[in-house]
Amino acid sequence: PGTETCLRVGGRVRVEAKTANFADDGAWGDRESNDVSFRARGYLYLDSRTNTEFGLLRTYTSLVGTQDTGNGGSADFSLFDAYIQWGGVTAGFATSNFDFFTGQTFMGVVTRNWSDLTQLQFAYTAAFGNGFSATVALEDATLREGDNEYAGQKWPDLVANLRVDQGWGSAKVMGALHNVRPLDASLDGSVGFAVGGGVIINLPMLSADSNIAFQAQYADGALSYIGGGDYNDFNSSNGNTSTGYSLSGGIYHQATATIGLALDGSYMDLDLSGADDVTRYAIDGSVQWEPVSGFAIGADMGYANTDTDGSGDQDDIRAGIRLQRTF
C-alpha cells in the first residue's frame, strides 16, 4: 500500500512417502538403510513487480524447508530461486537457460537423464514477437562440473538458446560452452560443449491441458548438460574428454477435469574417457487426482536400468505417493 510495487505471496506444502530400490539387486531389506522414507516440504514464494519507464522490474524469491526421514528432526532450509528481471535482463539464481523438457510425472521417483538445474547467472533475452525469443547468458560453471578434480572456475559457461512459444506448443534449440580445466596443471584444458533441441506439442484433441514432448541433447566434456553430472567430464590422467547423448520424452493427459495421467522417460549413452562406458534408460509414470483447485493427491512408480561395461547392469524400481497443496 502506498507504493507502485505489487507483491504476490504464495506457497506450497508437499507431503510424500517413497520406497527405496526394491528390485532384486537393490538395497531392499538392508538393515543399514530405510526401505521407506517420508518427506514434508514447505515453500514460500515472493513475487514483486514494478512498472518503470524502462520496462517491468520484477524480483522473485522461493524458499523451501525440508524435513526428511533420518535428519534428526532438524529441517533443512534452502534457496530455490532468487533473481531480478528488468526488461530483458535476468540476474540471480534461476533455471538454466539450457533447460527445456524436465519431465511430466507428478513425483519422478527414479532419476531420468536430462538437464534440470537452477543456476547463478546473468542473462539477456530478446523478444522478437509472435512468440519468438533468443537468450544469451553467463552461468556459474561450478555446478556443471562432473565427477572430476576440477581447478577453480576461470570462465563461466556461455549458454544461448532460440525459442518459440505459440498456440500449438513450444520448441527450443540450445547450446553451451564449458571450460574443462583440470586441477592437475600438467594437463591441457579444453572447451567442452553441449547442444540440444526439444519440442512440446499441445494435444487439444485429447483435452485442453494434454501435451507430448520430445528432446535430444549431446555433450562433449560437459556431461551435466545431458543429465550425466555424476560421471567424469574428462580423463584425469590425460585430459581427454568424455562424450554422450540423451534422448527423452513424455506425455501428459488430462483424462478428466480432476484426473491427470503422465508418463516420461529417457535414454542416456556415455562414452567415458578412461572409464567403462555407461548406458542407462529410465521410465516413470504417475496418476494424480485434484479434488479441489490447488490440491492434488498422486501416486508414482518408476523403473531404471544402468548398464556399465565390464560390471553388468543394475535395476532400480521405486514407488511413491504425494499430497500437494499450492496456494
Domain residues for the domain of 221 are: 5-326
CB 76 within 8 A of CB 66: yes
- Cell 533455471, located at residue: 95
> Rounded CA gap, 57 and 176, in Å?
27
Confidence at residue 170, expressed as pLDDT on a 0 to 100 scale = 99
- Cell 547423448, located at residue: 245
According to DSSP, the β-strands at 132-139 and 118-129 are antiparallel
> Rounded CA gap, 323 and 107, in Å?
10
> Rounded CA gap, 57 and 48, in Å?
8
C-alpha cell at 197: 533441441
Q: Residue 219 belongs to what H/E stretch? A: strand 211-220
HSE-CB at 106 with a 13 A cutoff on CA atoms is 31
How many Cβ atoms are within 10 Å of 22's Cβ, its own excluded?
16
Confidence at residue 75, expressed as pLDDT on a 0 to 100 scale = 80
In angstroms, the first-to-last Cα distance of the chain is 22
Q: What is the CATH number of the domain that holds 91?
A: 2.40.160.10
C-alpha cell at 292: 479441489
Confidence at residue 53, expressed as pLDDT on a 0 to 100 scale = 87
Taking 70 as the pLDDT cut, the residues of the chain under it are 1-2, 26-29, 71-74
Confidence at residue 176, expressed as pLDDT on a 0 to 100 scale = 99
Confidence at residue 291, expressed as pLDDT on a 0 to 100 scale = 98
Q: What is the pLDDT of residues 23-67, one digit of tens each?
A: 877 666 677 778 899 999 999 999 999 999 888 999 999 999 999
pLDDT more than 70, % of the chain: 97
The most distant pair of C-alpha atoms in the chain lies apart, rounded to whole Å, by 68
Confidence at residue 2, expressed as pLDDT on a 0 to 100 scale = 64
How many domains, the chain? 1
Q: What is the pLDDT of residues 187-222, one digit of tens each?
A: 888 999 999 999 999 999 999 999 999 999 999 999
C-alpha cell at 283: 521410465
Confidence at residue 156, expressed as pLDDT on a 0 to 100 scale = 97
